[in-house]
Structure 1
């Protein structure tokens, strides 16, 4: 049967059986060529490739070619590539593969080694590993709660036999199962995280391991931060910092503290970053945020301006700066509307041997009414930012100290006895006047300090001491010392340590059974100040209430309790306490501000009937009310105020100067030179000795074609900085605009002498040289040379008759003075010889002139034509007679003013005459000079 017949038989059937075996007749060229069924062809190709019916390479290739025509994407056409070996690859390819395998092997070994080392500090992490979130139960690492069940479940369960099934009691088994059933409690949800240790002992780890562990802890903090669990983030960042302090960890922890509104901690972290890396943009931006929330708007604006100087397009800094400046304007306008505010702080004069005490006024700076309360030094409320003094007269209030008697961050009221036992240093007096201390903010009431025979040096005040053993009322010496130590710690900003000292003193007071409510009131009040500083408003309220139970209508506990109420947003009770304070002392301005502020809040909150919802305001008896008499400040206070005002003015001027200069620079970049001119002029009013402003304004004048003013500014800049390159260059451009090409050329040469790489100066010098030659050519056109008769004239001086520049046209003769006595006479004689072209007369004139006087005589009329004429006269006549004199003239001639400038304007012929003169001079032998001397001198001319 032929292939056509087979193919026709196949096509005659309706279906093709692909599962059956391919007939041998189908393994033929003709059949494959006529077959159009792709699937069947793939099966044929599979049979041919298997070699079951023999190996036919050409038939396989033919079948593949035909199948490719029908279906190029057929899976049967895909061929598996053989595994490459060294023989199938080139040497370079095989070497590259071998090197990569070797590198991978080494990296794997290093990774295994690091993982083994990692087990050392995994134990450190596992010790403080918190439980899984969302569950109150935790499973220790390395343990599996289901291990026992798995062991039990791994045992095979034996089937029961038929006899056991007959004895099986279903009821009892159900009861047993019901009795042993364990009710699963619902899942517990954590309401708080367990405490995570913030310190990691990494002393046994290497530096590399410490770095790796610190990064792991920081990454955990980042994950907690992303999930908005800021307290946990702070804990992990603290763990990272305990291993290796890094800028990134400090910055991240500062941001987490900001989100938690822990302003003091955030400020400390920002300061740590700036100590490690001054100028860190993130730290400055976050410190500005903290300053803004703490009410220090001026410091916040300064930090933000520093950020914008480095990153002008920082959107966050720009927005924050606009908000801060708005707050500053509001504060200034509010202060101006209220007028001048002077708060009075008392300084109590204590006599340790009597029960009588007097009061003096104490100066306190104005406070900002809009600042928040609690938590941090600078975020204290208005009353906390200024010490109001203990406004109540208490005849037995001896030993009042600590925060109960002076302001920590603003003023240091020093208690003095009649014998001047407790002294304050000059720095303390300045702090009283300035209203600031080393912490840079005003705050609440400070620890009262005493000094005596046993003194302790105070932090930051040289020579200022405090007697820790000073007597305090009826307190025994140990308790008095605890109180004084707490006062000292409070003043230095160590509020937690001060709180501990006050607590020990209170406990000791209770144990000793002393009956002195005044002293106990002071201790509770001082401890309340510490609580308020740490943001613990609830405990502050409790201590203030105890103090007021001991001493009703005591001013400081009332103030502190009012601030604590305000920080907790319990505005009604805060309002009552502030109003009570004002009944005791109406001069407490911070209380007035707080009352006004709280009144607005209560009106918004309770509406017009807000007064009806207030608690009852107690009436203060007349005996508890105070009346302050203002006394004029002392000379020292006035001097300190003047110094502070001068410093403030200087700082404001510096800020304004920087802003104006930046605005001027921005106008220059935009091409608004007239606007920039005004800004630079205002800058010079603030700092007239700033050289850069003169050069910048000179640039604006040049752009506006006001060359005279530009030259004046450049002259002023050169007076301040004689080597200022910009001033020389811009004065050259101004001189060019004024067509003073000689001065322009001199300035450009000065620029190139300082920096030969200034291409702009080189181009300007070439252009100015051409302009200078043109101007000289136009100013003195060449005249035809005439024969000049020379006649000797008898007399004291030898002269030569020659026509001058004017009389030559008329044919009149003039005489040449061969023995000039000044520059005018020399110039007149030289011009006469030069105009007539008489080189012999010029040679005679030079022969009769001292060489050292030549620079002085030529300084006013030196030009290229004059130098060339002198060279010709020396070469033609004087060299044969006296070569030593020629050498001396050349030695002094190049020292003439503007010689280097004029030298550049010589033509080729004039330079050729100069070269010939030095060649002839070098050929003459002399005892006064050598050929080397002539060559060195020629280098200055040629």
Structure 2
């Protein structure tokens, strides 16, 4: 078939497809030849339908041919299906038709009996004359004596008779209007208010809906809730909002339901909805305002003030927040004291020194901002806001500022970063770890700042927790601290100080959320790790106080005062609890107190400082060095792991920086050098890779990875001989390294090419070598020439008993220069075969190997074949052996083959013929 015919067929097929889709089948396509060549199944189906229609005539054989061809292309084509005629009595066997008829008759009888049993009879025996509609059924009819006309007969409505014209003169319009209004008001039925809970399911089953349908249905339920809210039907609105939230939990719907719960005075439920909104959007103004409303009705005024100030920080001109806050600020001093005595401890306050009036954005890091109480010293964990007995809740009056409660001369940045005179651990609550660079705000926070001995991932978790706490997101901060604690436990981190701080911070979160029991547990764990730590003691005391466990609170407050007697809040709390315990337990109240531990002098922060002794200074220096080393070790391991992860991801430049930082911390780590060499190799910086491999081999002379990667670096630098030597060292240590074998083959081929190129073309500036004749030096008295039989044997000038590798190399080179194979044989017979690789060192090349083989075959094989076998067996383990074998000339290769042939023909007890053949495979390449 020609090219034109093929093209015409293709065009015809394409045209047929087009026609088959858009028009009638041409007559010329109803042909055996066309149908046989056509491969378009859709068009074939159309041809088959055209043939079956009979419009162009009936061609049964052509129809069958088209069906067969279509069946070969698409056996599942719908066009191949044929309709079956409806089954009749004539098309079915007599027995089957009889069975079907009986089943139908039985079904009809059962249906009729069921209908008769369901029809009421006794109730309507005398209903024939009643004007009622018949029962709806298949056999229903109009009862006797009743017709359609009787249904329409009704009494005509009574109408008022028209007034006489003479009565209109005396008609009082106002009185008639009042009468009509009175009648109307009496006739109107009172509206029924649905005061009960609507009978609507609060949940919706959306398992079969798509996401788009879920959103649509959730919006519809929310709109129903809005309509119910506008109609003041708050219970129904709550149900519809709950249905919407069961489909899609949206922030706006939570806000709406919170407002509805406020209308119903369900304060606890409203608070839960506001908390859910603030978990997703911490600065949602509606949620803050509504939560402030809830707090206000719950008499938690300090918390309401915090929420209102947070709103004013975002929107300073918010009228709602300004009005409510202004009403709260006018409380008198007597009211504040009464409130303080009613609530001895505000469990929402921090033990770490954070004032309750500070907005979430301006707040310090979880209580590490050192605030100074009035008239007292500022301590490490207590501040004026924990002075429950006298100062209580600080309130900011109109135009006032909460900065006046800070210690005199203390800057905000210093307070926020925890750098007071006796501040706690630097990284706790923002001190070094989570503190902001701007003095307490959330902007500019370095979340990757180091925190004690914590690894970078755990340090970041702690810093994030500090920042969340500053912003008032206590639940989120609690989660971050919990993750950091779990990470420390799983990794087995040996840093009690850091773990103590994490437990103490999480206890502060629990205290802010009012969970005093969990706060006590975390403070106890922190004190087990770091006894007599001030912050956990103070926070646990506040938690005990809030739970009215005054004896335990008294013990902790007294312990706090032993640690730091300048904590004024602890003094005030001890005085207040003393009065309570006297009223509760009487004069014997001290006997019921738990044991108060005795704080050692080393843990007391306000004892008189004495000059440290030399032993103390040395111990302090040792401890500092140990801490520094431990932190450096943690940092080193973290950087190394990060570098390894970056290598796996192909980020070699970033991994290079991590490994460089590791070497700055620990310059003597061999693994880091090899890892950095790998990065240099991937970046094709071969010189730096070779330097790192050399450094690794100086630390570990047998490091296999260093040899292999230096071989790759030398290959990149085109130093094929050095690369071959390194690869041979790798194979000598581990013969099963296939990568090294492949690299050795490539390097050997490259080495041969370089040698051939060097031999074929010499530099034009190279000077030709001069042949220097070597003459034998004779003594002055010996002037007459000697016959050949009396020539002086040059073997005497060769040291045949070398003491070390240097002397052996000198002797071997002297024998080679003289061509004295016999001397070489004597030299080899005088050394231990096992020491031969060490004696040769890296001096073995192709010429030396050929000369050794010649000496063994001509002079030593006949005398001592066992020694020859041992020498050959150990010779193959010498450095550069593989390269030397590859560089043998053709004549030298034949000499090697000849040596093994002679050796295999010798009968010896030291070896067998198979041993010789196995050894020959190592030499003959």
Give the TM-score normalised by the residue count of structure 1: 0.38
Give the TM-score normalised by the residue count of structure 2: 0.39
